[in-house]
């Protein structure tokens, strides 16, 4: 039986702590985080984010593949950082990707959004010139392109895999939703929660401590909100009033699925999420929500109680 082992032969990194491993290690040992005020682009007083983790500028002179001419059409810093760490890691490993080895070399790239300055520059270009930037100006759209650029740089011709943090977020949300559904339908606590929600006086007569159930429910809801915040934090800016952006969407999801229905909330979330994603490919900016609102209105016109709601 063959033993399957993972062997790391070369590694490298860039982070807000520095652009070389030695500097990053020394600063980490000192307890530094690299988090500080944003300095890469001008900030208006009302800009929601003023503190972040910025990666310092890289000296590109020793690396011809990072020259301004080579990266003229690839403005997101993700390309520059990815190409640099791959080049240095391969140099440390001593691996030479020959034509015979190339088909067996895969490229995998994983990232959150990042590249906030590229997003800001693209937005300002739209405002100033009324021209849409190329798709690779958007870090959300360039994850697979980064893998392609790495493949071109190294000569690797194997598969290219891209894992985006949002994928893990989707899996996390489905696991939490399934756990809440099982809690509410398969446990005595869940039945008590449903009873206290639908008929608190009757639940009290049956010996259920309604006040205690309210506190437990509040705790479960807060825990779910914490998981949601942690899952979205890697690719969504966090500031004190960020929750307001999700209120309308949450309302639509709950009403669309049916008040009091966990399955309905799950189905409503999928419908609104897919509608927003499709809308983002058709309409610019906030107009992407048009499809979601149209679906929401049509379903309520023909089924006012929502997809899984009861008439009572």
Q: According to the model, what pLDDT value does residue 212 have?
A: 93
Domain boundaries, the chain: 21-158, 170-239, 243-312
Q: According to the model, what pLDDT value does residue 47 have?
A: 78
Fold of 21-158: Peroxisomal Thiolase; Chain A, domain 1 (3.40.47)
Residuewise pLDDT in 10s, the chain (312 residues): 455 676 778 889 888 999 898 999 999 999 998 888 888 777 888 877 788 888 888 888 889 999 888 887 777 777 888 899 999 999 998 888 998 988 888 887 765 545 555 556 666 666 677 766 555 444 444 556 777 888 888 998 888 776 655 566 777 888 888 898 899 889 999 999 989 988 888 888 888 899 999 999 999 999 988 888 877 766 666 677 777 778 888 888 888 888 878 888 888 888 888 888 777 667 766 677 888 888 888 888 888 888 887 655
Taking the C-alpha atoms of residue 25 and residue 29, their distance in angstroms, rounded to an integer, is: 6
DSSP assigned state of 294: H
- Concatenated DSSP letters of 230-260: HHHGGGS---TTTTHHHHHHHHHHHHHH-TT
Q: According to the model, what pLDDT value does residue 143 have?
A: 55
Q: According to the model, what pLDDT value does residue 285 have?
A: 61
> Which residues contact residue 168 at a Cβ distance below 8 angstroms, ignoring those fewer than 6 apart?
231
Taking the C-alpha atoms of residue 124 and residue 147, their distance in angstroms, rounded to an integer, is: 27
Half-sphere exposure at residue 17, Cβ-oriented, CA atoms within 13 angstroms? 15
Please say whether the beta carbons of 115 and 76 come within 8 A.
Answer: yes
Q: According to the model, what pLDDT value does residue 1 have?
A: 47
Backbone φ/ψ region at 96: left (φ over 0), alpha (ψ -120 to 50), beta: beta
pTM passes above 0.75 = no
Give the bridge partners for 107, in sequence order: 160
- Rg for the chain (alpha carbons), in Å? 25
């Amino acid at each position: 039986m063959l033993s399957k082992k993972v062997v790391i032969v070369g590694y490298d990194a860039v982070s807000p702590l520095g652009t070389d491993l030695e500097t990053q290690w020394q600063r980490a040992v000192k307890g530094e985080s690299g988090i500080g005020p944003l300095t890469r682009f001008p900030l208006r007083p009302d800009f929601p984010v003023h503190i972040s983790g910025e990666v310092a500028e890289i000296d590109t002179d020793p690396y011809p593949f990072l020259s301004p001419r080579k990266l003229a059409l690839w403005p997101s810093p993700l390309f520059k950082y990815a190409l640099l760490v791959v080049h240095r890691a391969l140099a440390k490993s001593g691996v030479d990707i020959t034509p015979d080895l190339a088909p067996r070399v895969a490229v995998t790239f994983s990232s959150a959004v990042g590249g906030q300055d590229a997003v800001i520059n693209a937005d300002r270009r739209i405002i100033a010139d009324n021209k849409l930037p190329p798709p690779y100006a958007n870090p959300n759209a360039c994850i697979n392109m980064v893998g392609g650029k790495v493949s071109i740089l190294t000569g690797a011709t194997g598969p290219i895999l891209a894992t985006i943090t949002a994928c893990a977020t989707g899996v996390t949300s489905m696991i939490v939703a399934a756990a809440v559904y099982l809690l509410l339908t398969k446990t005595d606590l869940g039945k008590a929660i449903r009873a206290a929600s639908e008929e608190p006086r009757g639940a009290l007569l049956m010996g259920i401590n309604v006040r205690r159930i309210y506190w437990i429910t509040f705790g479960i809801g807060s825990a779910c909100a914490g998981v949601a915040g942690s899952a979205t934090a890697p690719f969504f800016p966090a500031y004190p009033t960020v929750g307001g952006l999700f209120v309308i969407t949450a309302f639509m999801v709950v009403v669309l699925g049916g008040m009091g229905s966990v399955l309905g909330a799950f189905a409503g979330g999928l419908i609104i999420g897919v509608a927003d994603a499709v809308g983002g490919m058709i309409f610019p900016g906030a107009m992407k929500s048009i499809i979601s609102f149209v679906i929401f209105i049509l379903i309520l016109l023909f089924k006012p109680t929502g997809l899984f709601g009861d008439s009572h």
